[in-house]
Amino acid sequence: MTNALLNIDDLHVQYGSIKALHGVSLNIFPGELVSLIGANGAGKSTLLKSIVGLLPVSEGRIIFSGNNITNTPAYTLAERGLTLVPEGRGIFQHMDVLENLKMGAYSLQNKENIKNDLEHCFYLFPRLAERQKQLCGTLSGGEQQMVAIARALMSKPKLLLLDEPSMGLAPLLVKKIFEVIQTINHEGVSVLLVEQNANAALSLASRAYVMEHGKIILTGDSRQMMSNPMIKSSYLGG
């Protein structure tokens, strides 16, 4: 897949003697929004962490923008345009909203661009504009998720990896988060979305992968997946 933005080939990851990923292969093309669905413990978060260098890969390759980044140190990948919004958000609780967002732009030098990017984040998330000086530890869960996504956008990603962005959020905030994800994608950022809300994930994405027990068991067009009897019974509550 030479024209893929991200190409993962036969990836194996293990924790000690326990194998977590068993020959996972997937690809994402520029401008795509792709969903990865699966039950708890299927290996979805492990895959995202291995892509960004937070977990060591024992076998296989990860190619990003034509370069082999397998086991590349995590701190160098944001500069290349690969950014993860982790499950649990990972924001700096004792820093305010503005400080958190600026941390996302730590590797960027152009102050005018950073200012414009901040304004764009506040356009996407008006609530954050109102809370710029508020400590992030005092924000609601939904507001903290907004900070996590906005901070990731400040690094100017080519590919944004999102791990369970709707977890624990009220329905109205979930709707807002998914609208922003769609907007980000329409603006040209490729997205790999890991999400337990399979209905929403498949509705947003053009393609999807299904993972079970550390393996990809199904891939295809999202709309077709929504009518697949196995997907409906296992993930869509029907």
Give tens-digit pLDDT for 188-223: 999 999 988 888 899 999 999 999 999 999 999 998
Work out whether the CA dihedral 60, 64, 69, 72 comes out positive or negative.
negative
Domain ranges of the chain: 1-80+198-238
| pLDDT recorded at residue 238 | 57
Q: What is the pLDDT of residues 26-68, one digit of tens each?
A: 999 999 999 999 988 899 999 999 999 999 999 999 999 999 9
Q: How many CB atoms lie within 10 A of CB 135?
A: 15
- CB crowding 107-120: b at 16 or more within 10 Å, else e: eeeeeeebeebbee
Chain-centre distance of CA 127, in angstroms?
21
Q: Which CATH superfamily is domain 1-80+198-238 in?
A: P-loop containing nucleotide triphosphate hydrolases (3.40.50.300)
Q: What is the pLDDT of residues 126-147, one digit of tens each?
A: 999 999 999 999 998 889 999 9
| pLDDT recorded at residue 109 | 64
For the entire predicted model, the pTM comes to 0.92
Mean pLDDT, range 161-165, rounded to an integer: 94
